[in-house]
A and B are shown apart, each in its own frame.
Chain A
């Protein structure tokens, strides 16, 4: 962490979006995480994505559980709503909040411990229900906050800082999410914002459950030789499959641009994809699972937009709730009285 605050002064030529805000207006408190933590880069990417999308910060709600990852909502979008709950329970908070007010943009931040261990059941049910949120797992293969125990996403044989090898097979949350019917599934890497920021923009605007598994090295407890979640290991084994093209990408080429392909999505808009390793259709669930398996066998980590369902589930659609957010209904509409209740009860007899 750093003792001094980040000065409020900014570059006079910093661009402003349609709301008149600069990217700096989307920041939060200064981070207390270890210097170099991948989680901080993800916060910066989220700040950039929300700025790009011109989201009014006060129309966003941030939800999280426990972990270094779960602390990060303090470090971005200082003007947004937020709720930091107990370990593994972020999905419950998100479900409740999304039910009560369908008009906010929900950002759920979790860790691999928070989601793949204590919160696994919660994760599964949030997908099943199709809660409309960005569900971000900042995946470092370890319990960072409690000082470096293996998490359930650690690979077999990956070494702890002390040198022991992990004996258990990992849970691949990306596969799980696709399998359970999540509408939008992607994997990113905190060290590659050119890929991550467009993924975040797409996820934030996806109408349904959008899952991003973002590899995010823990510099302090899991960035050593022998770890499969370190900066160098990820860089060596990462295979970009279907990156969304940054609108600016044509000019900001830090990687050689590949072939461009446009994909139609159901709201009529088009996603521009940068095809890298092979021809890939992110609308095909079986193909996605197959691809993941093939690369796993080769010891490679696939990143990019892996699956996007044009008609993903959404909790409010499933439940057929009213367009008006429930928290905006007046008392009479929300609680129609004993007679209405009797009618409902009668239906169930």
Chain B
């Protein structure tokens, strides 16, 4: 495997938070799948907005309003380029959760009783609960693609689930627990061959970590969150094919999403504004654009390669510890979920925290998946471009401490 191209020491200088101490120890931040840290370029872009051109957008006919509007629209364009989409195809939301809810509410309006929706056993609650609840309300049938012993989707079973009644297929690109990277291009082909269903991809864990090209992927919609890719919280993205977004009903009604309102009726605004009702998170959109710039400069191929190296190294180190059980396949995105035998994940995480190591513990918003795995909870270490091998050595050392405390 080629050596990583990233200058990690230099990258780390861009992230002020990496200098803090936790419990007297240098912070080792391995909870990137929950949210990433932010470089000063992102923090700075948002501060610059508030200090120098804060204004509402699209409605203010003055210098500041114009500047803010331009910056906000440029953010759409940058995000569009980042995933090879067109400007009109990028709708800003509050995050993946809101993007998927938008789709769930809007798309199920055109479905009929008995129509079918397919998701998988490994979905995050945000790509699970909206479909489950709307299926109940509208008498739709929700079906699940199962996972095999390794944590990969059973594609033969998927082909059996799919039929003419299938109207929506919504699948995560990368699992936030198993790390499994699902073959979305292949799934897109199967969906299109065998049904007329919309194909939705949850990109929350993939867009931050690998090059994503929506045209190549062949999805109809893609949802992801800014805060997991160096951007701020409160801003996320819904990509949708233009012709589909044009046909869809808006999800939120109100200011700015309209073209003309009379006492009788309303003409909706053009794309993408039709889906952006009310005053949006302007500073956050500008922050997200700075994050995309940052990632673009480093190159997503490099980000992916570095994540792979760290993940493989982590798998190797944790596999050396016989008390550690690891979940998910060998080939995976930049995270490792595990348990120390006979120790609850929360206890593991608390002891790691004492060493300055931040990992997530719990069900990671994937309770159905944990029930399939037959465990109540797991601990998860997840990596990003500023993490280094030494930090994984510290993780392994701290896990030995966990084992000692509970022996």
Do they bind each other?
A: no
A contact set with B: CB distance below 8 Å: none
